[in-house]
Amino acid sequence: MSEQEKHEFTLDDILASTGTFKKQEVKKEAKEEALEEKTESVVSSSVQPQEVVSEPVEVQENVDEVEKENLFNRDLENTQTIQVQDEVEEVTPPPTPKRTATAKKKKKLSKVGLLVMRGILVLSLGVAAFSGWKLYTGLKAYREGNQTYDNLVEYTQAGDTSGGSVEAAIDFEALKRINPDFVGWLKLDGTIINYPVVQGADNAYYLEHLFNGDVNHMGCIFMHYGNNKDMTDKNTWIFAHHTNNGSMFYTLENYKSQSFYDEHPQFTFETPDALYLIEPVAGTVLSGDEFGIETFMPSENYTYNSQEFMDWVQFFVNQSTFKSNITIQESDQIVTMVTCTDDYHNARYALISRLTKVR
C-alpha cells in the first residue's frame, strides 16, 4: 500500500472519528437538556400543585415504592405505639378516689332516704291492703244483705198498688218467726223499696243488723222505738240507710225530682191488722244537727199542739223539693221517713207523707 493510500485511510478514519465524536457530544448535550427539563418540571410541580406534569413511568414507580415504604413504616410505628399504650393501661390501675366528709354525708343521707322510701312503700302497701279489704268486705256485706232481703220477698205476694187500688198479701206469721220485731211491709212500686219494717228496743240496733239478725251495715228499715206499732200516733218515724249499692232508703232522695214524685205518688204499708197508703206531701234536705228530730217525737211527756204541728208541716212544704197535690189537715196523721244524703256533711233527706188507712 502506498503512503498516499495510508494517508487517505488515516484521514478518513480521523474524519469518521471526528464525526463520531461530534455525534457523541450532540447526544450528551441532548441528555443534559433533557435532564434540565426534568429538573424544571419537578420544581414547577412542587410550586404549582394544581398543574399535572406527566413523568416517566420509571420515576413514578420509584416514587410509589418510596411512599409505600413510608406508609408501612408509619403503620408499624402506630401499631407499636398502640400496643405500648394498651400495656400501660392494663398495668396502670385507676386512681382511688379520696373519701371526703361530704361523700360520707351523702352516703349517710342516702341510707336515711332509703329507709324513708321503704317506710313509705310499706305504708302505701298497708293502706292499699286495708282499702282492698274494706272494699271486699263492703261488697260482700251488700251481696249478703241483698240476698237476705231477696229471700224475704218470697213471703209476700204484693199486687199492683198504682192508681189507688191496693192488693197485698203478707205471710206475717212466717216473718214473725224469723224476727219477732217485724211490724209491717213497706213498698214503693217501680223501685227497690220492697222491705220489711221492724221496731227494736232502741234506734241503734237495726242500723247494723239485717232482718235475720246478722251483723251487716246495710241494716234494716226500722220504726222509731217510741212509736206505737198500731200506727195510732200523730207522727210515725221510719228510718233506713242511704246505701252505696242503691238499696234500703237510697231511692228516697229521688223525690228531689218533680218527675220522680209524679211517677211515684204513694207507698203502701201493710201490718197484721191493716193496710195503709202513705202519700208524700213534701221533702227537704236538713242538717242532722238542727233537724229537730225530737219534734213531735213520741215520749211520755209529749203533749200534742195542733198549731205547732201545722207550722212544722208548713215548714216542709215551703222548702219542698217537689210539689204535691196532697194537703195535710190538723186531723191527719203523717209518716216521716228519713235517710242520709250526700248534699253536705251530716245532711238528711226527710219526706213527710199523709197516712191513710185503706182497710
Grouping H, G, I as helix, E, B as strand and the rest as coil, residue 291 is coil
Structural domain containing residue 184: 144-357
CA quadruple 271, 274, 275, 280: dihedral positive or negative? negative
Residue 270 confidence (pLDDT): 96
Residue 175 confidence (pLDDT): 96
- Answer whether residue 251 is part of any domain: yes
CA quadruple 291, 293, 294, 298: dihedral positive or negative? positive
Alpha-carbon distance values, 90 to 80, 82, 95, 133 (Å):
15, 12, 13, 60
Task: Decide: 242 and 339 in contact? Cβ < 8 Å.
Answer: yes
- Answer whether residue 192 is part of any domain: yes
- Answer whether residue 127 is part of any domain: no
Alpha-carbon distance values, 355 to 81, 162, 186, 234, 331 (Å):
110, 16, 13, 9, 11
pLDDT over 90 at 160, yes or no: no
Higher pLDDT, 155 or 159: 155
Mean pLDDT of the chain: 76
**Any idea which of 9-18, 164-173, 275-284, 286-295 has the lowest mean pLDDT?**
9-18
Cell numbers found for residue 114: 332509703
**Any idea which of 100-109, 155-164, 166-175, 304-313 has the lowest mean pLDDT?**
100-109
Residue 292 confidence (pLDDT): 56
163: left (phi over 0), alpha (psi -120 to 50) or beta: left
Cell numbers found for residue 13: 478514519
Residue 105 confidence (pLDDT): 55
- Answer whether residue 80 is part of any domain: no
When pLDDT is cut at 50, 70 and 90, the band that residue 305 belongs to is confident
Higher pLDDT, 330 or 158: 330
Listed residue (142, 127, 339, 309) closest to 241, CA to CA: 339
Residue 7 confidence (pLDDT): 45
Eight-class DSSP state of 298:
-
CA quadruple 67, 73, 76, 78: dihedral positive or negative? negative
Please name the amino acid found at residue 354: R
| Maximum C-alpha span of the chain | 196
Our count of domains for the chain comes to: 1
pLDDT, mean of residues 300-307: 68
- Answer whether residue 115 is part of any domain: no
Segments in the chain forming alpha helices (H): 3-47, 57-91, 101-152, 172-178, 258-263, 306-318
Give this prediction's pTM.
Answer: 0.62
- Answer whether residue 309 is part of any domain: yes
As beta bridge partners, residue 195 has: 186
Residue 288 confidence (pLDDT): 80
**CB within 8 Å of 243: residues ≥ 6 apart:** 142, 218, 250
Q: What percentage of the chain has pLDDT greater than the value 70?
A: 60
**Any idea which of 27-36, 85-94, 135-144, 164-173 has the lowest mean pLDDT?**
85-94
- Answer whether residue 285 is part of any domain: yes
Q: How far is the C-alpha of 172 from the C-alpha of 185, rounded, in Å?
A: 9
Segment 311-346, tens digit of pLDDT: 889 999 999 999 999 999 999 999 999 999 989 988
Residue 309 confidence (pLDDT): 87
Residue 8 confidence (pLDDT): 45
Buried-state track 317-346, b at ≥16 Cβ within 10 A, e below 16: beebbbebeeebeeebbbbbbbbbbeeeee
Segment 231-256, tens digit of pLDDT: 999 999 999 999 988 999 999 999 99
Q: How far is the C-alpha of 269 from the C-alpha of 112, rounded, in Å?
A: 66
Q: How far is the C-alpha of 189 from the C-alpha of 27, rounded, in Å?
A: 138
CATH number of the domain where residue 268 is located: 2.40.260.10
pLDDT over 70 at 72, yes or no: no
**Any idea which of 82-96, 135-149, 274-288, 337-351 has the lowest mean pLDDT?**
82-96
- Answer whether residue 154 is part of any domain: yes
